[in-house]
Amino acid sequence: MNKLQLNKLQRKLLLILISLPLVLLSACSSTPKNDYDLSYDFASLKSFSQVTPPANNDPLSASRIQLAIETALASQGFIKQDTNPDFNVTYGFKVEDKPKDSGFSIGLGTGSWGSSGGASIGTSVDVPVGSDTAKIQTIQIDIIDPETNKLVWRGSDKFTFDDGGQAKAEETNATVAKILAQFPPQKTAD
């Protein structure tokens, strides 16, 4: 392998090493899931009321989720109305510990085979990630018909956090907004 080929290979390896963390970070984001009553008329919904779930052991998260729901629905044009709303909205959440990997390794290599001989270059990088566990908060939002008290739409998503405070509050807002961006469901033409 001559010097020019080696320089090109080094540039390609450097580009891969630089872009890999961006690819890995984008793979960490989740996609909200939802399900709904196929026969329900979502087009007529204009106003909502929040139903507070039973007390839990994390009032900070509960308060953040409630405010995020109200903000997300208002930004979509729904009006908060405590009496005679078109739909009720409630939520649930849980926090779990999930073991984290201590790091990840990247192995890169190249070579040639055949009459031109063989050459290879390889490297491995171990990047420490932090503590051994991460906290995962799952949020579930339910839309309930106030006349029948039946569930008509449910959405959920989760996010990972290490500490509370501002970062967790921002993740809560973003997660609730992603969930409710799928509400009301858009029916596709048959």
pLDDT digits (tens, 9 = 90+) for 91-135: 999 999 887 654 444 454 444 445 555 444 444 444 444 557 789
Comparison of pLDDT for 124 and 45, the residue scoring more:
45
Q: Is pLDDT at 155 greater than 90 in this prediction?
A: yes
- Residue that the structure tokens 């501002």 belong to: 166
Strand pairing of 33-36 and 47-50? Answer: unpaired
